[in-house]
Amino acid sequence: MCTLVLPSNIEYAMPYARIAITLPKDLVAAADRRAREIDRSRSRVIAEALRAYLESPPAAPPAQVREPVRPAYGSDAIGSARRAQLERDLARTPAQRLAAAEQLARLARGARPRARRPRQQIIGFDSYEDFYEWKKTDR
């Protein structure tokens, strides 16, 4: 707490806090001019301006969006189908996903012409997209 001694020797408690702010030079010059005009300190002029600003009602939000709305990723038909498939896959347990992959592998083997000797394969995929690309090829 600071005290201020006035010429009349009356002591006042100052409930003030000292802060440091950065303002544009032209704004500081305008505040200094106004302070000289009304015979006040720069701090008092700035404090009164801040009080007036804080007492005024908040400004309304802008009425319109300034940037055009961009469609969300996957909002087209293919993206929607991929998202729906992903949601279905994530709803399954890992065992169910493995069983579905094995069933699709059996289906894929049945769609190709049979070779003289059946080949044994173990196929792994890093992602559904890799599996889907593999599934689309004529194997």
Reading the chain (139 residues) residue by residue, the pLDDT tens digits are 555 555 554 555 567 888 888 999 999 999 999 999 999 999 999 999 999 988 988 877 767 767 777 767 667 788 888 888 888 888 999 999 899 889 988 888 876 666 667 677 778 888 888 888 888 876 5
Q: Which residues pair with 63 in a beta bridge?
A: none
Q: How far is CA 90 from the centre of its chain?
A: 25
Residue whose C-alpha is closest to residue 135's, from 120, 118, 123, 119: 123
